[in-house]
Every structure is written in structure tokens, then in C-alpha cells.
């Protein structure tokens, strides 16, 4: 076996930071091509048990790795993500690669263009290994809604990895990628990151272009990274953030050096702890872990104070009205006509529409389409959708007032650790309540980071959510880094 392959295997056996991988490639200690081969070997060995990857993009990945090796051989400066093996959530399109959104509706669909976030990752040197599993059309909190089977949590394979970006979180936790991209509409990055014991980032809405994202709820959807540590997550966000002419809703605000900002100490920052996030329903072990995290922030020199976000109790119903209404409109495009699944049992045009959507969509997606269509229907629009938008504004204003007093807000990411597979599938309301601590930030458009914050007695990860004002990612990274450094 060649020396390079042995070296690559060594790099894969123990998770490496992005900086360590880049340094190793630049110094000639490992080749990006050998590293990619080693990761594919690991995926081939472990994916059957975890069901993380839906497809591999080997030819594209190896071609990108070869370009990185050419740069290294010439002694040219390497970009920030040079050679980094990464996975991409299957709601983000890649040219020539299947993009199913975890749905039978899009089985076999290969888009003719790349998502902007994908383009920017490759420009930064990342090696994109393939597409990872997710809840169908990003609708779910457990990754059990995928048409291609559930993802299993690498920490405990009898438990869910969280959703909808469960494949993205599990890939990092199992070291089937150094970092990944996921999407977050109501908690779909933060909750699975918490369940799998990795770092997940919710960027400010508009911070990352949504061009090439298969939409769920356009005013809520965001693309963000998963990584094994805060600095790596900050580095990936820096690579994909920024204005995009292909997305008019992307922000023109300057992109900070998030990795460098995350190196700054958190001492002197004002941290708010909202009482509403520590009430009935919070698991005792989760509470204890988060309280240790808060104590660690105090020890790091942060000023901690209690605050109140009294309208938090309205967040879940508000979210599930606003999000499902937008889903109803966005998913109307999947009609069996232009692309995607078409029923073979259709005799008329009306039957083709009806049967294609009934057979192509899974139960959870259909449930949300029904809810959203009802909320938008004549006679109910004002009572439901419009009212939800009014409450959404109140929630956003509540955060603005809070950030006048504090620099960041810390909460549990989830009220409980990862639950068992099939434990909540028969109770949609219970499943929706898994998002109780994450949907508020989604509705308000603010940013956040979830970072590991201890484990339960059973060894299940607990995540702390750090929320910051609009475009306040640097502050969130500093606080998350302080929690990470405490090694709770």
C-alpha cells in the first residue's frame, strides 16, 4: 500500500480540523486525492448501518482533489477549505448529481446547475463527496420522513439523529465528512447538531444565498454548516456567506472573518438567559448540562443575566402556520408535468395531478400541505396565516428589545436528548414540540450556533443554543467557542 494511502487512512481514523488537513496537504504529508479515497472507503464501510449518504459524487470529488494536489505541488497558496471532504444535504442541488430532497417525488432528478453554496465551497477548495439523507423536503425533526429510509444516530444507532438535516449531522459525528451543509427552517440544523454532538450554525436569514435550494418555506429557509468544532463551522460559513446576484434576498452586508472572530475571548459579553426556555417540559439532565454551560460562561468573564421572552409560548403554532402555508405554495410546482414523479395510473389530466402528488409525497409532506392550504383558504386567511404573521413580528421585536440589553442569548437547543427511532412517529404534535426552542429564532430571522454542552448519564449529547442579533454571527461564535473550551 502506498505511503500516501497509509497517511490518508491515518488522517481519517481520527477526525481532523480543517486547518490540520489544509496544512498536511500544503506540506505534502497527505494528498487530497488519497484523502478522498480514504473517506470513500470509510463511507462504504459505515454507511450501510447509518444510511447517511444517498449518492456519491466520486468523479467530481476526485477531480477537485486532483486540482488541490496540483496547487500544493506548485507551492501555491491553498484556499481555506483545501481538500476538505464534505457532504451536501440533498435539498441543495448539484449539477449531474441526484437531488431528491429525500422524496420519491424527485427520485432520479439531476439538476442542470449548482447551488450557489456548492459553487462557493468548491471555490474555497472543498471536496464534495456526495449527497446526504434528510427528511422529505426538509420537513421533519427526526430524519424518519425520508423516502429512502431513516438515518441512524452514530452515538446510538437505535436513536434518531434529529431532523431535517439528520444526514448532515450524522456524517460529521461519524466522521464520514469533516464538515457538511444542511438547511434550517425551524431548527433543522440546530436540533440534529445537538442530538449528534456536533456544531451547527443558523446564519441570519439572507446571510447565505438560497439559490439552488429546493424550497420548503422561503421566508424561513437558511443554508448553514455542520462541523466538529466551532472554528471549523465559522470557516465554512465564511466561505459560503455573502451577496449573490442570483438571490435578491441575499444580504450585501460585508462578510466578517468568522474564524478569526471566533478566536476572540468572550469575556465582557452580556449573556441573557430567558426564563421561558427553562420551564416545564425541559429534561432534567438537559437542564443540568446547560446550567453548567452558563456557569462556564460566567467563569470565562461573561456577565449573565435573566431575561424574559414572554411570547415564546406562541412560537410553535405561529411557525407551523407560516411554514406550512409557504410549503403549500412552494410544493405546488411538483405536479407530475415538467419533472419529477408522474403516476402511471392517471387517465385524465386531473387524475395525473392528483395521483402523482398523492403517490409522490410522503405522509408528513401531505399533512403540511393540507395545513398550509387550509390556513391560506378563503375565510381562514385572516384568522390563521395573517394572525401568524402578526405574532411573528411581535416575536422579532421581542428579540430586538432583548438584544438592546444583552449581546447573546443562551438556551437549550432541544428540550430532550435524541429519542428512539419510531418513538414519536405516531404523534405529530409531540414531534412538532421538539422544535420548541428553535422556531423562535427562525421566525425572527436572527442567527445562532449550537455547540455540544455535555452529555446525559446514558452518554447522549446535549447542545447549547447561542443566539445573536441579525448579522451577529461573530458574537455567537465567540460565545459558542467559550462553551466549547470549557469541555463540559
Place of cell 449548482: 114
Place of cell 432534567: 284
Instruction: Decide: residue 433, CB within 10 A, 0-12 exposed, 13-18 middle, 19+ buried.
Output: middle
Active site residue 305: no
Strands (E), 211-299: 222-227, 270-274
Active site residue 104: no
Distance CA 281, CA 410 (A): 17
What single string gives the DSSP state of each residue in 89-139?
ETTB--TTS---TT-GGGTT---SS--HHHHHHHHTT-EEEEEE--SGGG-
Smallest CA-to-CA distance from 364 within 170, 138, 89, 184 is with 138
**DSSP SS3 for 307:** strand
Smallest CA-to-CA distance from 450 within 305, 290, 307, 287 is with 290
- Active-site residue, selected from the candidate residues 89, 131, 251, 424: 89
Planar angle of CA 453, 458, 463, nearest 5 degrees: 20
The answer to whether the CB of 50 falls within 8 A of the CB of 170 is yes
| Cα–chain center distance at 324 | 19
- Active-site residue, selected from the candidate residues 164, 250, 262, 328: 164
Active site residue 188: yes
Residues 6 or more apart in contact with residue 218 via CB below 8 angstroms? 210, 326, 330
- Active-site residue, selected from the candidate residues 188, 194, 209, 250: 188
Distance CA 134, CA 51 (A): 10
Distance CA 98, CA 233 (A): 26
Order of strands, sheet of 461-468, starting from the edge strand that comes earlier in the sequence? 53-56, 127-132, 85-89, 179-184, 222-227, 199-202, 447-455, 461-468, 408-412, 270-274, 303-307
Residues noted as catalytic: 89, 164, 188
Amino acid at each position: 500500500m502506498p505511503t500516501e494511502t497509509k497517511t490518508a487512512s491515518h488522517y481519517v481514523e481520527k477526525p481532523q480540523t480543517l486547518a490540520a488537513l489544509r496544512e498536511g496537504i500544503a506540506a505534502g504529508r497527505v494528498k487530497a486525492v488519497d484523502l478522498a479515497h480514504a473517506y470513500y472507503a470509510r463511507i462504504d464501510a459505515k454507511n450501510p448501518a447509518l444510511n447517511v449518504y444517498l449518492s456519491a459524487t466520486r468523479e467530481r470529488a476526485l477531480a477537485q482533489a486532483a486540482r488541490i494536489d496540483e496547487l500544493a505541488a506548485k507551492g501555491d497558496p491553498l484556499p481555506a477549505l483545501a481538500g476538505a471532504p464534505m457532504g451536501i444535504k440533498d435539498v441543495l442541488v448539484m449539477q449531474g448529481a441526484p437531488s431528491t430532497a429525500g422524496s420519491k417525488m424527485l427520485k432520479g432528478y439531476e439538476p442542470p446547475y449548482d447551488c450557489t453554496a456548492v459553487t462557493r465551497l468548491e471555490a474555497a477548495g472543498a471536496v464534495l463527496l456526495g449527497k446526504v439523507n434528510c427528511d422529505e423536503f426538509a420537513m421533519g425533526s427526526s430524519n424518519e420522513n425520508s423516502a429512502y429510509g431513516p438515518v441512524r444516530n452514530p452515538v446510538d444507532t437505535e436513536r434518531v439523529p434529529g431532523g431535517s438535516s439528520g444526514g448532515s449531522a450524522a456524517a460529521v459525528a461519524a466522521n464520514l465528512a469533516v464538515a457538511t451543509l444542511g438547511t434550517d427552517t425551524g431548527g433543522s440544523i440546530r436540533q440534529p447538531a445537538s442530538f449528534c454532538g456536533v456544531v451547527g450554525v443558523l446564519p441570519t436569514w439572507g446571510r447565505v444565498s438560497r439559490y439552488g435550494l429546493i424550497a420548503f418555506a422561503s421566508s424561513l429557509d437558511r443554508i448553514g454548516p455542520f462541523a466538529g468544532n466551532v472554528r471549523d463551522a465559522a470557516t465554512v460559513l465564511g466561505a459560503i456567506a455573502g451577496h449573490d446576484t442570483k438571490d435578491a434576498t441575499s444580504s450585501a452586508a460585508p462578510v466578517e472573518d468568522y474564524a478569526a472572530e471566533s478566536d476572540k475571548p468572550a469575556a465582557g459579553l452580556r449573556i441573557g438567559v430567558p426564563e421561558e426556555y427553562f420551564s416545564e417540559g425541559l429534561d432534567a439532565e438537559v437542564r443540568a448540562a446547560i446550567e453548567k454551560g452558563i456557569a462556564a460562561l460566567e467563569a470565562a468573564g461573561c456577565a449573565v443575566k435573566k431575561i424574559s421572552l414572554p411570547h415564546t409560548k406562541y412560537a410553535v403554532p405561529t411557525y407551523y402556520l407560516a411554514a406550512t402555508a409557504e410549503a403549500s405554495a412552494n410544493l405546488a410546482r411538483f405536479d407530475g408535468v415538467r419533472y419529477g414523479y408522474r403516476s402511471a395510473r392517471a387517465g385524465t389530466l386531473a387524475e395525473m395531478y392528483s395521483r402523482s402528488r398523492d403517490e409522490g409525497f410522503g405522509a408528513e409532506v401531505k399533512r403540511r400541505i393540507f395545513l398550509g392550504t387550509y390556513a391560506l383558504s378563503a375565510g381562514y386567511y385572516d384568522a390563521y396565516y395573517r394572525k401568524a404573521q402578526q405574532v411573528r413580528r411581535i416575536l422579532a421585536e421581542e428579540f430586538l428589545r432583548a438584544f438592546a440589553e444583552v449581546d447573546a442569548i443562551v438556551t437549550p437547543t432541544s428540550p430532550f436528548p435524541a429519542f428512539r427511532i419510531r418513538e414519536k412517529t405516531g404523534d405529530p404534535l409531540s414531534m412538532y414540540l421538539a422544535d420548541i426552542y428553535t422556531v423562535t429564532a427562525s421566525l425572527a430571522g436572527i442567527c445562532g450556533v449550537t455547540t455540544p454542552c455535555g452529555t446525559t448519564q446514558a452518554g447522549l449529547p446535549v447542545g447549547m443554543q447561542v443566539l445573536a442579533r441579525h448579522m451577529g454571527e461573530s458574537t455567537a461564535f465567540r460565545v459558542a467557542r467559550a462553551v466549547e473550551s470549557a469541555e463540559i
